[in-house]
Amino acid sequence: MTAGSGGIRCTLMRAGTSKGLFFLGSDLPAEPSRRDAILLAIMGSGHPMQVDGVGGAHPLASKVAVVSPAARDDADIDYLFLQLGVEEATITDRQNCGNILAGVGPFAAERGLIGTRDPSTTARIKMVNSGSLVTATFATPGGVPDYAGNTRIAGVPGSAAPIVLRFADTAGSATGSLLPTGRVSDVIDNIQVTCVDNGMPVVVARAGDLGITGYETHQDLAANDDLGARIQALRLAAGKLMGLGDVAGLSVPKTTLVSPARDGGTICTRTFIPLRPHQTIGVLGAVSVATALLLPGAVGAEFAARPSEGHRYDIEHPGGHLEVEVDIDLGIRPPRVLSAGVVRTARKLFDGTVYPAR
């Protein structure tokens, strides 16, 4: 219920390697423009420090989940993801977020939207942004969400309880097609790329083709203004090819630069969201990159160290490793995604009332 004096109840959660505010849909205006204006004021977007709001001055900490009872029979809850800008007062629903998704099941259980079981609960979640379905299995000993555990994920200090996410119908999440240009590879500004959308629209390019090794630190990439300009030009052109139109004001497509693994993984990555270097890699971005590696002729496929068995791929990133599972049917055209999954963690940071600037 919306709190008095203009306050709104919400929960702040660390979910995966992101941090965001979780709201019940019933606590926000139903009309999107009113809802968005309130969320921008709550987050403090439009200022680089988001100093007059609760945003974390970084795209990974300027996110919102709106959770509601499911509108269809094959799901338990609906999850709308909203990415808010930091320096600019922007908000978009043009993408999913697999990290914030990790907190949706426990949040829904705590707020009574779904029933729970002992020792774990599986929730069917509709990702409203794309219409895709995902199941989230999380610890609920005694029927109560428990965030403590021994699972560690790269980019997050400490450990927490595992949350197993299994995706369905993620292909073409924002573009309508696994290969939105209709081709496995394209050439943009003399750079060969693969444009893929298996839960997140991603432009995959070789790091070496943009003049870097692909092993640079997050700080080194952030300081490379020339690289940032080339990434922007690349994604603007790719956005049009992918049917997304003018993406100058959007957070998609992401760009991932790949190079051979050097720490025992499948591939090494450096990702931009959309221009800031990612300190790790997004869940669905990693799923899309792993998907590209399976496609003969795709950029980076020649670098991939394929697993000897199974469908688990170890994606190296600046913060460590992210393991994802992807299985696709290459016997048909276009290829069909059979399954995808990942293990994440989440932690409730606070639950209370937030007050938007007036």
pLDDT digits (tens, 9 = 90+) for 84-111: 999 999 999 999 999 999 999 999 999 9
Low-confidence ranges of the chain (pLDDT < 70): 1-5, 308-309
pTM of the model: 0.85
- Which CATH fold would you assign to the domain 186-334? Diaminopimelate Epimerase; Chain A, domain 1 (3.10.310)
CA distance 169 to 197: 11
pLDDT score of 1: 40
Q: What is the pLDDT of residue 169?
A: 85
The confidence score (pLDDT) of residue 2 equals 47
Distance CA(350)–CA(353), nearest Å, equals: 10
Q: How far apart are CA 104 and CA 64, in angstroms?
A: 11
Helix and strand numbers (H, E) in the chain are: 6, 17
Q: Residue 296 to residues 299, 330, 331, 355: CA-CA distances in angstroms? A: 9, 9, 12, 52
Q: Which sequence spans correspond to the domains of the chain? A: 8-170+345-354, 186-334
pLDDT for the residue 3: 46
Q: Can you give the pLDDT at residue 168?
A: 86
Fold of 8-170+345-354: Diaminopimelate Epimerase; Chain A, domain 1 (3.10.310)
